[in-house]
Structure 1
Amino acid sequence: MDESSNRFDETKAVTLNNVAEKAGVSRATVSLVLRASPLVASETRERVTDAIASVGYVYNRGAARLRTGRSGTIGLIVPEITNPFYAELTAGIDDVFDKEGRLTFLANSNELPERQDRFVRRIREQGVDGIILCAAEGTTGDVVAQLRRWRLPFVQILREIEGAVGDFVAPDFRRGTELAVDHLVARGHRSIALMSSIRKTSAALERVNAFQAALQRYGLPSSGIHPCVTDRAAAFQAAEMLLTARDPPTGIICHNDIMALGVLYAAQNRSSKAGRAFGVVGFDDIPEGSHCVPKLTTVATRPAAVGRAAALLLMRRIAAPKDPPERRLIAPKLIARDT
């Protein structure tokens, strides 16, 4: 048999028939593999996948979208892409969608509603099947109203847009703040301050409200709520002012771990090592917190679990767009370390 008969003509487009012939299966089986159908045996799936790579077949997503009305893509918009929390959140989301054969488009709003609106329009133009949105500060219900007009499924994460009813997933920030206060009180602290985010978001407000309620429950006065930019440098400067005050707090709860690390640096700068005499609690349990000295006590908000829950909820919303909206809170956990 002429060896050239087994070669594909590289000048012609490779088709499903070429893949099927190479793999020794039917064209329908190849189609099932491309759609990630569970009906195909693993051995057959592997053979078809090898054949696809061998002949250089490229799946035509545009044609598939015309047939199914679905693009297999999802939009994800976050406000602060450099924060390690959002990296873990994105990983959780992508883990679910990758297993479902979906591609995630990631955009960073940088806390700018107008930039966010522009990304929402652009992502929609890409024909995404749905959007996961962590709203930028100042976002109004207009963006949700627009998504509804477009009949584009969406899930809000971390921050609720005031007055905008819809699916929502977040850590239980209220419970997490209670855990932080409980921890410091149990260690003997009676003068506790909250270094909150300067952002006016539901996630920040929940912490503030929970902090005040927890202190009231213990019958303790507040040592102040101190809004701050959520980075090390700003937290360092704010902590320097707190620690040099006439009556400084003995415990500080921070909006996130990045701020808490800034507080630790300020304490070390004043030769006041954080520990039993001076307590610091962060939020999010980023990896750096478990390696710094002293090791940071934190509230684990489980961003990867939040991401997975949001992805699963969006898939349910895509499949059943008329179902009632759901609100899911992921239980936090206090990680007690040296501070």
Structure 2
Amino acid sequence: MQQAPDVITLQHVADRAGVSRATASLALSGKGRIAPATRQRVKDAADDLDYVVNVMARNLRGSRSGAIGLYVPDHTLSFRYYMDVAFGAVEEAQASDLLVTLMPTAFAPRSGITEHLDGFIMIDPIDGDPIVERLLSGRSPVVSGEDAPADAEEPYGVVYGDHRRGIRLLLDHLWANGCRRPACLLPDRSIAWGRGMQDGYREWCAEKGIAEHMLVGDFQSTTEQVRGLLDGLLGALDGVDGIIAAPEGTALIALDAIRSAGLEIGHDLLLASYVDSDSLALVEPSITALDLHAREFGRQCMQLLADSLDGGSRRGERVEVAISVIERRSTRRIP
């Protein structure tokens, strides 16, 4: 019986499967026009031999590092949504044998700290961010999670949620439950989903023939600043009978403000969050929210970027990730 070699190479797999080395490589990478039976034969041979792809050698041949950068502005890192996006990207990266580096946000715009990375994913790029501008003007491919600033270079591709539609989903849900004058605490227009939400809210109010009650904050607003906006709204309620709060976490501040004002959710007004989190299902009453499918969002970003590194057949593609309502008690009227 022939003794198995100490180191299993791609050539051993090819010989076992009775194909060329090139065919074996394509079959194991999932590329090329190869008959399903041949692809399966190669995979079976690799399994029989316990073959492990030499990722380092493959990257050296392609002049790649095998690592990509994920850029998320540091003021968002405490939010569950962004961590779920990152986990989705990491899970998808495993299929392409890519490592994901969470990029530091405080490095100087001219720093060479990211020069070794093969490409980048940036999530919720903010207008005027010098790091966003540097990434988009560089030589490496960039995928943007939500639309990039209008005056920046075009990214390789965009993954996005339809936030104009998303805010309308929540507004329609509140309307169906008797809310006739909803107020919204929304992000400013420096990010794409802030623009989409504001536009969607204004359009919806115009269609219903009702007055707008829009409070605008940003990710860097403190808890005290958000609470001050909400206290002012509730102090001059002026018929407002519902609140939609964004970004993540502000619905809990709204819940406390409502209680402090002596108002009852389900009787005096309804409450919803634009972004879901674990805590919203656990508070009393539980708070209705949107599911932005964050992990799928991250996976789609990584799929686009992996395509760009493999030759780029999807340049300019826009991939929409669904948004859906998670109904909970905070938007149910008390009989």
| TM-score band, normalised by shorter chain | 0.7 to 0.9
| Counterpart position of 1:45 | 47
Equivalent residues of 1:74, 1:129 under 8 A apart: yes
Give distance in 2, aligned partners of 1:170 and 1:59. 34
| In 2: Cα distance, 1:258 partner to 1:42 partner | 49
Q: How many angstroms apart in 1 are the aligned matches of 2:267 and 2:325?
A: 16
- For 1:16-55, list aligned pairs within 5 A: 18-20=6-8, 26=12, 37=29, 40-41=42-43, 44-45=46-47, 48=50
Distance in structure 2 (CA, Å) of the matches to 1:29 and 1:132: 39
| 2:188 corresponds to 1:202 | no
Shift of 1:220: 1.0
Deviations 1:262-320 (A, max 9, x none): 10121123342322531112122222211111111111111111111111111222233
5+ residue gaps, structure 2:
31-38, 331-335
Query: Which residue does the alignment assign to 2:82?
Result: 86
Could you list the per-position Cα deviations for residues 149-206 of structure 1 after superposition, in whole angstroms to 9, with x for gaps in the alignment?
x2x1110112422133231112111110111111122222222211012462222111
- The answer (yes or no) to whether the contact 1:257–1:298 under 8 Å persists in 2 is no
| Cα distance in 2 between the residues matched to 1:307 and 1:208 | 24
Counterpart among 195, 211, 217 of residue 227 in structure 1: 217
The corresponding residue for 1:8 is none
* CA-CA distance at 1:41 after TM superposition: 3.7
* Residue of structure 1 equivalent to 2:148: 160
Aligned: 1:77 with 2:67: no
Q: Which residue of 1 aligns with 2:59?
A: 65
1:100 Cα offset (Å)? 2.1
**2:226–2:253 Cα contact (<8 Å) kept:** yes
**Distance in 1 between the 2:98 and 2:72 partners?**
19
Which TM-score applies when normalising by structure 2? Answer: 0.78
Distance in 2 (CA, whole Å) between partners of 1:286 and 1:324 is 33
**Which residue in 1 is equivalent to 2:34?**
none
Q: Tell me if structure 1 keeps the 8 A contact 2:55–2:97.
A: no
Displacement of 1:105 after TM fit?
0.7
In structure 2, how many angstroms separate the alpha carbons of the residues matched to 1:28 and 1:231? 60
- Mark the CA change 1:46 to 1:101 in structure 2 (over 3 Å): closer, same or farther: farther
Q: 1:60 to 1:99 in 2, by over 3 A?
A: closer
Aligned length: 303
Q: Give the 3 Å change call, closer, same or farther, for CA 142–69 of structure 1 in structure 2.
A: same
Matches of 1:237 and 1:251, distance apart in 2: 17
Match of 1:173 in 2: 163
2:95 equivalent in structure 1: 99
Amino acid at match of 1:275: G
Counterpart residue identity of residue 184, structure 2: L
Q: CA deviation at 1:253?
A: 1.3
After the TM superposition, which of the residue ranges 232-241 and 250-259 deviates more from structure 2? 232-241
Aligned in 2, Cα 1:249/1:68: closer, same or farther, shift over 3 Å?
A: same
Give the match's secondary structure for 1:274.
coil
Q: Cα–Cα, structure 1 residues 170 and 232, in superposed 2: closer, same or farther, change >3 Å? A: farther
Q: Distance in 2 between matches of 1:116 and 1:249?
A: 46
